[in-house]
Amino acid sequence: MQRIRKIKVLFDQPVIANYNVGMYKSLASRPDIHLTVSYWADRFEEYPPHNKAEINFETVSFRPIRWKIFGKLRWLNLDLFKYVIRDKPEVVIGAVGMFGINTVVSCVAEYICSLISGTRFVYRASYGLLPEVSIKIPAEGLRRIWYKVLYRNAIMLTYTQKAADIAIALGCNPESVFIDFNSMDSEDLQKIRKKFDGSVKKWKPYFLRSNGISDHGYVLFTGRLSEDKRLDLLIEAWKHVIEQVPDTLLVVVGSGPDRERGIDMARGLGVIFVKGQYDTRELAKYYYLSDIVVFPGYATLSTHFAMCFGKPIICSQYGNEAEYIQDGINGFVYKYGDVNDLADKLIRLLRNHELRCRFGLASERMVKEIINIQHMVDTIAKAIHFAGRMGKSKNSNLQ
């Protein structure tokens, strides 16, 4: 029996985030991939609640050099460069500019690495990052030349079709662009949901009581409470909502710089604030019992969490995963910044139980069919094999 050859892959990340561990485990379990995940040694290494011994992928830590220029933080990841030259991974997956300073330095470092070790680089980018990857060259003609240099031979993994279209417009070969539909560990979340279905009567009363939540249902907002998440917009809209639907609650789960300001703005509105939850199973309880999940500002991977739990979603068309919300199909897309539009859509959903159920079922269907961890891992594996073949071809030409 012929032994399957493993492609040596480095997945470069500043932090091994809890929500990405399922993806790494699935990639590492494939017979054709030998996976190592890197992280910055001085950043908090986020592992899920289970034992580290259960993690089946190798890890390596880097210590990038940091300095400030005119108050702006810069960094250079020489450790990544050394690792690639020494260990010669066939494929490295990471963000555009993974070596640091700027994309020019990264491109030079990647070119040197490809010559010495034959390594191919795959960029995993969201819609929000793609338009910003250029250095700030004043002349538009030079900018276009720079895009061509950067993207001509680039291999891209994007979260959405819109991001893929941007990459192609910037000069990527369409065959080198893969849409992986960024996903949390949908299989794990569905297992959690199934367990909740059988045990909800045991934990629900205590959960509601300890959080001060009534049993009338609530609207949920989760995420880091920073300016781009627009908690302020949601609270302004909530003033209109409780005039029309006075029995409902807004539950805000998250920590961050805008938390205290949000608490001040929400006084007298019956908004319940809960500190950020980093245990997936505890956070899942808030999603499980909610009626609607809302993202008034930058939509993130939390949209997928809500979809896995079959929830209707309201968001703007702004953020990495906002494209997963289809207006009138699995939620509402409101006009960003329009408080009245946000309030109207919240009121409409709160008053229509049948519509909430229909949107929720559509979210579940999308998760089952395409926006799930299996599809994501399969697509990343396709990009890895594509990069591996290109690396071999390039080495053959050099020889």
Q: Is the pLDDT of residue 65 over 50?
A: yes
> What percentage of the chain exceeds 70 in pLDDT?
88
Quick one: pLDDT band at residue 138, thresholds 50, 70, 90?
very low
Written as six digits, the tokens of 369 are 């069919």
Work out the pLDDT band at 280, boundaries 50, 70, 90.
confident
Whether residue 113 is predicted with pLDDT greater than 60 in this model: the reply is yes
Confidence band, pLDDT 50/70/90 cuts, at residue 184: confident
252 - beta bridge partners? 221, 273
Q: Two tokens at 145? A: 């030349």
Q: What is the pLDDT of residue 396?
A: 45
For 80-92, what is the mean pLDDT?
95
pLDDT given at position 399: 42
Average per-residue pLDDT in the chain? 86
Q: Report whether pLDDT(49) > 70.
A: no
Tokens describing residue 371: 């926006």
Classify residue 319 as left (phi > 0), alpha (psi -120 to 50) or beta: left
* pLDDT at residue 101 in the model: 86
Angstrom distances, CA of residue 341 to CA of 279, 292, 338: 33, 16, 5
What is the Cα–Cα distance from 80 to 93, expressed in whole angstroms? 12
State the pLDDT confidence band at 137, using cuts at 50, 70 and 90.
Answer: very low
| pLDDT at residue 73 in the model | 80
pLDDT at residue number 398 = 42
Residue 320 binned pLDDT confidence (cut-offs 50, 70, 90)? confident
Q: Which domains does the chain have, with CATH numbers?
A: 7-183+373-398 (3.40.50.2000), 186-369 (3.40.50.2000)
As a whole number of angstroms, the distance between CA 393 and CA 118 comes to 10
Report the pLDDT value the prediction gives residue 62, as an integer from 0 to 100: 94
The predicted model scores a pTM of 0.85
**pLDDT tens-digit readout, 364-380:** 999 999 899 999 999 99
Residue with tokens 């302004």: 236
Helix axes 21-28, 373-398, angle to 10 degrees: 60
**What mean pLDDT is predicted for residues 279-288?**
92
pLDDT for 342 equals 96
- Report whether pLDDT(1) > 70: no
pLDDT at 41: 87
Contact (Cβ atoms closer than 8 angstroms) between residue 49 and residue 22: no
Res. 224 pLDDT band, cuts 50 70 90? confident
What is the model's pLDDT at position 321?
77
